Chains A and B, each alone.
Chain A
Amino acid sequence: MINDLMVIIKIYRDKLLLILLILSMPWAFAFGYVPWWMNLVFLGMVPLAGLILIFRILPMPDEPRRESDDPNVSDANIRKMRKMSSGIHNLLSRWAQVSHNSRSSIEEVATHVDDVISYSEKSIIDVSKNFINVTRKTRRQVDHALGLLERTRGGADSASGSRSLPELVEAYEVMARQVVASLGRISETSQQLEKRHEQVRENLKHIDTLLDQLSAHDSQIGMLALNTSVAAGGTGADFVSVSDQIRTISLESKALTRDIRRTLEEVRSQSQETHGAVRQAVQQARDAASSAEDESSKLKAGMLENSRALEQTLAQISALGNEIQADINNIIVALQFQDITQQKLQRLKHPMLTDLTTSLRAIFDETRVLSSKLQTTGMVDRAGEERRGAAQSAAEAPTEARAQEPQQAKPKGAASDTVEIF
């Protein structure tokens, strides 16, 4: 400040007296009309007004030429060069500050990039491991389900000997048919048995008739023996004896006939019981055959329905499997984008950010050196020096020179699929 004042006074020294004289004219005019103390105040205000006039109102005087200045260069050009030097100095100062700030920011960005790479790599590895586990398990599940359904649908495994559901239905139907046929044969056999039983009954009736006739003959023989005995009277003992024998035979024949009749009655009774049982068996066989046929039809319809449901389930599982495969493909592509982003960040960090930091450091050092040199040459004018402070404070604020943040690779909807076979 004092130096500046001395310089200005030195520059304006030939006009200084005139300036003070002009400033003191109002005071001189009022000298005899005001009290003495007011004269003192006015007298003190004259140099103050002079300083305000010099510093704030009058234009800055041209600095005198220096010994180092080229005498061939005009004053105007020297003034221009000094102005430019001041501007450059100011610019360099700002640039030095900005580059310093930018370097700090870039170093911070580099640290963050390292963190992002580390975190993303770890998370991607975890995600992909889990993803692979899940997809493998899902695939195994689908394979098992498909295998099961294939077996039930018809893809019989000849090695294992297992049969498909339609084959089982077919086999069951054949078996049911065989059961019905067997029951039919049983029914036919029962009917034949019944017919034979009827014949037996007819035969029994015929035997009955014959027995009746035999009984009648026995009675007639008895009567004949009695008549013979009466007619003979006492003609001969031999004749009586024969007659007795005939009677005896007749009685024995009667007894035998009774026994046979009794036996035949028992046989008839048993035959009737058998006939009833056979008839019942025939009816039961018919009912069983009919019931088996109905059940077989129902079961066949149910199994065919189940088979159709299994077919639909198989189709759904197959479609679901395709969808899962498509989703897996999309996830694989998405994970690759993450990986590509990470690689791009790595490339951004090294060597781009590292190089940029090094360059900024070099520029910062060189700028400071150049700025110092300019300052020491004395080519920096006062206005430039004044502006410098403001520039420095502006440079401390966040600037546009911050390192560009690493750009993440834009995820696309699908893989690029650029394939070239040489």
Chain B
Amino acid sequence: MATILVVDDSTTMRQMVCFTLTSAGHDVVEAADGQQGVEAAKQGKFDLVITDVNMPVMNGIELVRALRALPDYKFIPMLVLTTESDQSIKQRGREAGATGWIVKPFSPDVLLNTLGKVLD
């Protein structure tokens, strides 16, 4: 079971993601924006990061870029969970260092399945 950092400005969305992950036995830490996400990542050690794109203070792409700059998170998988499906934004996410892209709304089965793939 993995320890996962979930970053999303929407409380409901965080709750849904956390519920899905904790039900599958994972440990979850929440953050409401990119800045909080970076601070949480520095304080703890996570096996996976799931982030939204459109967030206040620091968006998801910037968060991924900031985390990739940290030595501990160079090779940690990072999934982007967002309503954005435009190829140009996906490309930006990929360039920033995102491991995968999931378009909201997500199905819990699909999320867990994707998690399994990237954690393997």
Binding site for B on A (CB under 8 A): 121, 124-125, 128-129, 132, 135, 139, 328-329, 332-333, 335-340, 342-343, 414-422
Contact = CB atoms under 8 A, between A and B. Distances in A.
A124 B16 CA distance: 11
B118 A421 contact: yes
Interface in B17-45: 19-20, 23
Interface residues of B, number: 31
B105 A419 contact: no
Contacts of B100: 419-422
Contacts of B83: 340, 343
Contacts of A340: 83, 104-105
B109 A416 contact: no
B109 A419 contact: no
A420 B107 contact: no
Given A418-B103, A422-B101, A332 B20 contact: yes
Contacts of A125: 11-12, 15
Interface in B66-83: 83
Contacts of B104: 336, 340, 415-416
B3 interface: no
30 contacts: A121-B11, A125-B12, A125-B15, A128-B19, A132-B15, A329-B107, A329-B108, A332-B16, A333-B106, A333-B107, A335-B12, A335-B16, A336-B13, A342-B10, A343-B83, A414-B107, A415-B104, A415-B105, A416-B105, A417-B106, A417-B107, A418-B101, A418-B102, A419-B101, A420-B90, A420-B101, A420-B102, A421-B117, A422-B93, A422-B94
A421 B107 contact: no
Contacts of B93: 422
B43 to A, nearest CB: 25
A422 to B, nearest CB: 5
Given A139-B23, A336-B106, A422-B100, 5 more contacts: A332-B19, A333-B106, A337-B105, A415-B105, A417-B110
A108 B93 CA distance: 37
B63 to A, nearest CB: 16
Nearest to A125: B11
A232 B10 CA distance: 145
A139 to B, nearest CB: 7
Interface of B: 10-13, 15-16, 19-20, 23, 54, 83, 85, 90, 93-94, 98-110, 114, 117-118
A338 B11 CA distance: 12
Given A333-B105, A419-B102, A343 B11 contact: no
Contacts of B114: 419, 421
Nearest to B77: A421
Contacts of B101: 418-422
Contacts of B10: 339, 342-343
Given A336-B105, A343-B54, A417-B110, A128 B99 contact: no
Contacts of B19: 128, 132, 135, 332
Nearest to B15: A128
B12 A415 contact: no
Contact of A339 (B12, B102, B107): B12
Contacts of B118: 421
Contacts of B54: 343
A125 B12 CA distance: 6
B10 to A, nearest CB: 5
A333 B20 CA distance: 11
A416 B49 CA distance: 21
Given A332-B20, A339-B12, A343-B10, A416 B103 contact: yes
A32 B102 CA distance: 105
Nearest to A416: B103
Given A329-B107, A419-B110, A128 B102 contact: no
Given A336-B16, A421-B99, A415 B110 contact: yes
Nearest to B109: A329
Contacts of B98: 422
A264 B104 CA distance: 106
A283 B85 CA distance: 89
Contacts of A139: 23
Contacts of A414: 107
Quick one: which of A416, A418, A422 has the most chain B CB within 10 A?
A422
A342 B9 CA distance: 12
